[in-house]
Copies of this chain bind each other. A is one copy, B any other.
Amino acid sequence: MNAPIIVLQFEEKMYSFKNDYAEGAHINILHKLIETNTIQQAGYGEDAYSLQAKQILRDKIQQPEAAIFFLSGGTQTNLSVISSLLRVHEAVISARTGHIFANETGAIEAVGHRVITVDTPTGKLTPDLIEATLQDYGLRPHVVKPRLVYISNSTEIGTIYTKLELTALHACCQAHGLLLYLDGARLGHALMASDNDLTLADIAQYTDLFYIGGTKNGALLGEAVIFSNHDLGAEFDYVLKQKGALLAKGRVLGIQFLELFREDLYFKLAHHANTMAQQIADAFRTKGYTFLTDSSTNQLFPILPMDAIAQLQQKYDFYIWKSIDAEHAALRLITSWATPAHIVEEFVNDINSL
């Protein structure tokens, strides 16, 4: 009974701009898997590739003492990190658009903590928003105690933090005894954005912990959690195992990050995704279309007339993100490390001829 579905999918012709995890992995990673396949290695992250990858990351962030762990996915990373750091009465502050609130099936509540949401059109948090939230949660002990601030860079709507914004937020957290955690599912795209002024070392310096996302930037799977403050991560190995995040064949994750970072492949792939997206964005702008939110990364939210949308749907697959009015809707278009230049060229032509 699944047969038709399968056939349908294999015959699928339209190119998809739905997400950045529709393909496998960068070929270097697959080749490295084959090259190292028969070498026996220790399990549970003690393999040579993981150790080497962690050392490379410590060097890149200039934190020789950082505690680093590899996990399979973002939701798993967020719930493991947060449940390892918070006490039962403590809570997380997140933008309402934050992945932990909007897309993780209550993973944080399932480990016992409220996600306090903040409405912010940019998808970004600011010191003012944090302080207003602390005000709202002042009625001790009848309310939870905010303890950790969760941000994403790039955000779930494609925006990025400037160095000024991140350092201000970090100072605010320090002042109020809050931990600052950055979800880097698309960190590469943020750091490669044309208007970005943050480095990977800055991210490590101005957060208490963060993760580098592999899944959405060329890895088969894998996220790297980095505790710049080594003590915060001193017992995270227990939590990794308890939450089912510790792969027996840790080598699989180690190899992803070894290949992505030994020669900056990670940044090259993100740069490609951004470039593809911005070519598309320029085409829309040239045609006079506006956007739901400005984005210099690999996620675009152009607002189009319904008939133009219908025309593009003939050849391309993408999400209709939000209805604007009877005549218009905003799309979500995502490019990736694997998006072919010739497809983008063709798409741009199709936009021009709308």
Most chain B beta-carbon neighbours within 10 Å: one of A12, A15, A24, A74: A24
| Chain B positions within 8 Å of A1 at CB level | 55, 64
Asked whether A111 lies within 8 Å of B88 as measured between CB atoms, the reply is yes
A63 in contact (CB, < 8 A): no
CB distance from A234 to the nearest CB of B (A): 11
| Chain B positions within 8 Å of A145 at CB level | 235, 238
A3 in contact (CB, < 8 A): yes
| Chain B positions within 8 Å of A75 at CB level | 241-242, 244, 246
Asked whether A9 lies within 8 Å of B41 as measured between CB atoms, the reply is yes
Asked whether A89 lies within 8 Å of B80 as measured between CB atoms, the reply is no
A127 in contact (CB, < 8 A): no
CB distance from A15 to the nearest CB of B (A): 7
Binds B, one of A101-109, A189-197, A260-268: A101-109
A332 in contact (CB, < 8 A): no
B23, B244, B252: which contacts A39 (Cβ < 8 A)?
A: B23
| Chain B positions within 8 Å of A144 at CB level | 105-106, 109, 238, 242
How many copies of this protein are present in the complex?
A: 4
CB distance from A108 to the nearest CB of B (A): 8
Asked whether A6 lies within 8 Å of B51 as measured between CB atoms, the reply is yes
Given contacts A6-B48, A248-B73, A249-B215, whether A242 and B23 have CB atoms under 8 Å apart is: no
Q: Mark A16-29, 1 if CB is under 8 A from B, else 0.
A: 10010111110100
A309 in contact (CB, < 8 A): no
Given contacts A36-B24, A43-B19, A48-B10, whether A221 and B244 have CB atoms under 8 Å apart is: no
Q: Quick one: which of A212-266 are within 8 Å of B by CB?
A: 215-216, 220-221, 235, 237-249, 251-252
CB distance from A230 to the nearest CB of B (A): 13
| Chain B positions within 8 Å of A79 at CB level | 243-244
| Chain B positions within 8 Å of A33 at CB level | 24-25, 30, 33, 220
| Chain B positions within 8 Å of A43 at CB level | 19, 21-22
A72 in contact (CB, < 8 A): yes
| Chain B positions within 8 Å of A112 at CB level | 106, 109-112
| Chain B positions within 8 Å of A132 at CB level | none
| Chain B positions within 8 Å of A249 at CB level | 21, 24, 215, 220-221
Asked whether A16 lies within 8 Å of B30 as measured between CB atoms, the reply is no
CB distance from A50 to the nearest CB of B (A): 10
A94 in contact (CB, < 8 A): no
A279 in contact (CB, < 8 A): no
Asked whether B242 lies within 8 Å of A110 as measured between CB atoms, the reply is yes
Asked whether A22 lies within 8 Å of B9 as measured between CB atoms, the reply is no
Q: Mark A320-332, 1 if CB is under 8 A from B, else 0.
A: 0000000000000
Closest to A26 in B: B37
Most chain B beta-carbon neighbours within 10 Å: one of A1, A41, A106: A106
In the bound complex, what is the Cα–Cα distance between A262 and B55 (angstroms)? 40
- A-to-B contact residues, CB < 8 Å: 1-3, 5-6, 9-10, 12, 15-16, 19, 21-25, 27, 30, 33-34, 36-43, 47-48, 51-52, 54-55, 64, 71-80, 83-84, 87-89, 91, 102-107, 109-115, 139-145, 215-216, 220-221, 235, 237-249, 251-252, 338
